[in-house]
Amino acid sequence: MFPVKNHRREFFYGLIRIHVLLHACHEPIFGLAMMEELAHHGYRIGPGTLYPLLHGMERAGLLKTLPGQAGGRARRLYRITAAGRRALDRAKAKVDELYRELHEAQPRKLKLH
Ligand SMILES: [Zn+2]
């Protein structure tokens, strides 16, 4: 069991990871720009949280880093990998499925054994 705070954190990390993959799928991303983008969507996430999350996704083979420039500064840029694209496709199917059920008047009735 997670303590309540960590539990909530774990819950939103999944959504944030999907969001990171989505943006990395369209253009190279870097920490600060991703933090601003997430804030736009209502996630307040600081560098102490986002950078370890990005590194974890890199270790998992979902992102790869390359040195680069953004906004006239040297930045550590992240690109999505082939495995990251597959993970994004699977996540999209799951989120679509969940979305449908969330917006139905009632969820499916559970089978009572
Ligand atoms: Zn976004």
Cα of 110 to ligand 1 centre, how many Å? 34
Return the higher-pLDDT residue of 3 and 65. 65
What residues does the ion ligand 1 have nearby, CB within 5 Å? 37
Which residue is listed with tokens 């999907």?
18
Query: How confident is the model at residue 4, as a pLDDT?
Result: 55
* pLDDT, averaged across the chain: 91
Cα of 74 to ligand 1 centre, how many Å? 23
Q: What is the CATH architecture of 4-102?
A: Orthogonal Bundle (1.10)
Cα of 70 to ligand 1 centre, how many Å? 18
- State pLDDT tens for residues 47-84: 999 999 999 999 999 999 988 888 788 888 999 999 99
pTM: 0.85
